[in-house]
Amino acid sequence: MATADAAHHDEHHAHPTGILRWITTTNHKDIGTLYLLFSLTMFMVGGLMALVIRAELFQPGLQVVDPHFFNQMTTMHALVMIFGAVMPGFVGFANWMLPMMIGAPDMALPRLNNWSFWILPFAFTMLLSSLLTAGGGPASGWTLYAPLSIQGGMSVDMTIFAIHMMGVSSILGAINVIVTIFNMRAPGMTLLKMPLFVWTWLITAFLLIAVMPVLAGVVTMLLTDRHFDTAFFNPAGGGDPVMFQHIFWFFGHPEVYILILPAFGIISEIIPTFSRKPLFGYTTMVLATAGIAFLSFIVWAHHMFTVGMPLAGELFFMYSTMLIAVPTGVKVFNWVSTMWRGSLTFETPMLFAIAVVFLFTIGGFSGLMLAITPADFQYHDTYFVVAHFHYVLFSGSIMAMMGGAYYWLPKWTGHMYDEKLGKTHFWLNTIFFNITFFPQHFLGLAGMPRRIPDYALQFTEFNVISSIGAFGLGLSQLLFVYVVIKCVRGGEKASDEVWEQPRGLEWTVPSPAPYHTFETPPRVA
């Protein structure tokens, strides 16, 4: 009776249509869609910047852009990908899936949710338009190291304000996630019954609230150094350029887990479904996630082994960093154990999930190499580092999101995506990814520094290979966009379950998921 009343009541709402629907929406599914589309757009914009970089590095010499613009591209590529593609992408997944996974009707704070999305387009308009200012965009790398960033033009100020806005957006989103998870779970859904994606997002949200203010603080200090005669980072005024790096990386290292933990969550949803087994070691997965989150706060200075720290500091950060391999190893073994003796099938989401487990582990191992202080003296600031973080960020975060998109697209749209095209996208993407980034390990080990627009002749061959791979990788994403559009517009009707007996409340609602789900909470056994 209650259900019927609620449904009846709902029909009398006058929903705005057209553009106003999207501007005024407080519906978690609409906002999730906005976030995902925004993320996809930024992924393409950041990808184009990467192609400018790879085009310039195709051959030795300066053929395409000048060195200053090259530095703007490396800076913007990172900012756009991290803050524009990966973070909003995960928030999009959270918006769509969290309420459905915990049996809630919506996010706990729907208007806040609307606001936290709509800050983003303005933040990125400001960030991207800084490229048009006199002197061009920010060119000091996404890390904005002082004193170099203090010398930049007004584009640095625009970047700082854009970062403030993104930070506000992230914190509001994180508050919403925490409040939703703690207050809106269906009866019977205890914390340790939550799907792992919910758990990873809960922990990620705490990380966001802990470190985004630190980033806001450090860029504000940069702003006052630039304009209000403070000298936080200026040694001539008694300041300390290394302090910038300490504060930045106190944000920066938890940030990289913000970028990967929700990916772990997505993988932990996909693998059991296509192994037809429950997730192996659920509780250890939760504890490992919490362990990674805790450790992320005590490893930051491994990004700065070459600044000249005391030996005790170098040892501490080396060992604490290596400790992260333990909970991460737990996760990898649990995923493999979930597949062990499972009844495996290899649909596109599963292909992505397996590739993520394999390729992320490569990135994890190169991370372990970088953690070894004396070895890092050699690897630091080389292409080895570039290869490392693309193996964890692209073949970790981004490919997990692609897998997640294929996994839940039928639930979102009500249509099956084109499996053949999905698999083609997977193979093109994964092969070109490795062609692009695997040779960069060799470049780094051979002595090629990061962030250079031109290079000595011994680096030519691997750069040629890498650039060819990058263009292939970029083009193969057009196929992804095509598959998504095709799936939205039509296709084979998806069943409610979509896959074979998947676990999770989202598969108990119809496909496509109705505009409002779980207005009456389900009872979880």
Partner 1 sequence: MEVAEGIEPKGANYLLEVDKPLVIPTNRKVRFLLTANDVIHAWWIPQFGTKKDAIPGYINELWTLVEKPGTYRGQCAELCGKDHGFMPIVVEAKSPEQFEAWLASEKQGQAKDTADAAREWSKGELLTHGEKVYANCVACHGADGKGMPGAFPAITGNPVATGPVAAHVSVVMNGKTGTAMQAFKNQLSDLDIAAVVTYQRNALGNNTGDIVQPTQVNSVR
Nearer Cβ to partner 1, position 18 or 238? 238
Asked whether the CA dihedral 171, 173, 174, 176 is positive or negative, the reply is positive
Q: Which of residues 63-122 bind partner 1 (CB under 8 A)?
A: 63, 66-68, 71
Distance of closest approach, residue 75 Cβ to partner 1, in angstroms: 9
Which residues are bridge partners to 415 per DSSP? Answer: 493
Q: In the annotation, is 257 catalytic? A: yes
Determine contact, residues 149/138, Cβ cutoff 8 Å.
yes
Q: Which of 41, 60, 168, 372 is in the footprint of partner 1 by CB under 8 A?
A: 60
Determine contact, residues 104/98, Cβ cutoff 8 Å.
yes
Distance of closest approach, residue 52 Cβ to partner 1, in angstroms: 15
- Give the SS3 label for residue 163: helix
Q: In the annotation, is 499 catalytic? A: no
The alpha carbon of 99 is separated from its chain's Cα centroid by a whole number of angstroms, namely: 20
Distance of closest approach, residue 441 Cβ to partner 1, in angstroms: 15
Q: In the annotation, is 142 catalytic? A: yes
Q: Residue 502 corresponds to which tokens in the numbers above?
A: 């998947």
Pick the catalytic residue from 74, 75, 328, 397.
Answer: 328
Question: Does residue number 62 form part of the binding site for partner 1 (CB under 8 A)?
Answer: yes
Q: In the annotation, is 15 catalytic? A: no
Question: Does residue number 140 form part of the binding site for partner 1 (CB under 8 A)?
Answer: yes
- CA dist 504 and 194 (Å) reads 9
- CA dist 75 and 251 (Å) reads 18
Which residues are bridge partners to 449 per DSSP? Answer: 382
Q: Which of 78, 104, 139, 505 is in the footprint of partner 1 by CB under 8 A?
A: 139
Determine contact, residues 523/188, Cβ cutoff 8 Å.
yes
Q: Which of residues 235-254 bind partner 1 (CB under 8 A)?
A: 235-236, 239-242
Residues 6+ apart with CB under 8 A from 65: 52, 56, 73, 453
Nearer Cβ to partner 1, position 140 or 395? 140
Q: In the annotation, is 68 catalytic? A: no
Distance of closest approach, residue 144 Cβ to partner 1, in angstroms: 10
Nearer Cβ to partner 1, position 224 or 306? 306
Q: In the annotation, is 331 catalytic? A: yes
Task: State the virtual CA torsion across 231, 232, 236, 240 in degrees, nearest 10.
Answer: 180
Distance of closest approach, residue 248 Cβ to partner 1, in angstroms: 13
- Give the SS3 label for residue 417: coil
Q: Which of residues 347-376 bind partner 1 (CB under 8 A)?
A: 374
Pick the catalytic residue from 74, 130, 169, 366.
Answer: 169
Q: In the annotation, is 169 catalytic? A: yes
Looking at 2-10, 90-98, 145-153, 461-469, which segment touches partner 1 (CB under 8 A)? 145-153
- CA dist 268 and 2 (Å) reads 35
> Helices 87-102 and 110-129 meet at what angle, rounded to 10?
170
Return the ∠ at Cα 83 (arms to 475 and 432), rounded to 5°. Answer: 25
Q: Which of residues 436-495 bind partner 1 (CB under 8 A)?
A: 446-447, 449-457
Pick the catalytic residue from 30, 56, 106, 376.
Answer: 106
Distance of closest approach, residue 451 Cβ to partner 1, in angstroms: 5
- CA dist 231 and 215 (Å) reads 18
Looking at 56-64, 93-101, 109-117, 470-478, which segment touches partner 1 (CB under 8 A)? 56-64
Determine contact, residues 401/89, Cβ cutoff 8 Å.
yes
Distance of closest approach, residue 314 Cβ to partner 1, in angstroms: 12
- CA dist 390 and 437 (Å) reads 7
| Residue type at position 460 | T
Q: Which of 125, 129, 151, 224 is in the footprint of partner 1 by CB under 8 A?
A: 151
Residues 6+ apart with CB under 8 A from 514: none
Phi, psi dihedral angles at 137 (to 5 degrees):
-75, 180
Nearer Cβ to partner 1, position 18 or 308? 308
Distance of closest approach, residue 55 Cβ to partner 1, in angstroms: 13
Nearer Cβ to partner 1, position 240 or 519? 240
Pick the catalytic residue from 33, 74, 116, 142.
Answer: 142
Nearer Cβ to partner 1, position 306 or 495? 306
Distance of closest approach, residue 266 Cβ to partner 1, in angstroms: 33
Q: In the annotation, is 140 catalytic? A: no
HSE value, Cβ hemisphere, 13 Å, CA-based, for 198: 27
Q: In the annotation, is 118 catalytic? A: no
Binding footprint of partner 1, residue count (CB under 8 A): 42
Q: In the annotation, is 450 catalytic? A: yes
Residues 6+ apart with CB under 8 A from 141: 71, 74, 75, 78, 148, 451
Closest CA to 202 of 120, 164, 280, 258: 258
Q: In the annotation, is 425 catalytic? A: no
Q: In the annotation, is 10 catalytic? A: no
Nearer Cβ to partner 1, position 142 or 251? 142
Residues that bind partner 1 (CB under 8 A): 59-63, 66-68, 71, 139-141, 145, 147-148, 151, 235-236, 239-242, 306-308, 374, 377-378, 380-382, 446-447, 449-457
Catalytic residue ranges? 77, 106, 142, 169-170, 253, 255, 257, 268, 302-303, 328, 331, 450
